[in-house]
Amino acid sequence: MRTLKEAKVGQTVVVKRIGGEGPVKRRIMDMGITKGVEIQVRKVAPLGDPMELNLRGYELSVRKADAAMIEIG
């Protein structure tokens, strides 16, 4: 199982499953990250937090803790 946290800069990945429970899962889904969506990793901050993503034409910042809950294929 690979997670978004492990994706490299410039890579485009597809979301397979979202882990977590309750508020964490809801926060991820509220950002528009759902099963089957393509995400491109634009940039990762020098210390690894946050990750800058392109998603459905939008730019988005995601914390590594949240990225670890997003399973990719």
Q: Report the CATH superfamily, name and number, of domain 2-72.
A: Ferrous iron transport protein A (FeoA) (2.30.30.90)
Return d(Cα 39, Cα 43) in angstroms, integer: 12
Q: How confident is the model at residue 12 (pLDDT cuts 50, 70, 90)?
A: very high
Domain boundaries, given as residue ranges, for the chain = 2-72
How does pLDDT run across 15-71, given as a tens digit for each residue? 999 998 899 899 999 999 999 999 999 999 887 689 999 999 999 999 999 999 999
Distances (CA, A) of 28 to 24, 25, 33, 34: 6, 5, 6, 8
pTM given for the model: 0.86
Evaluate the CA torsion angle 44, 49, 69, 53 in order and state its sign: negative
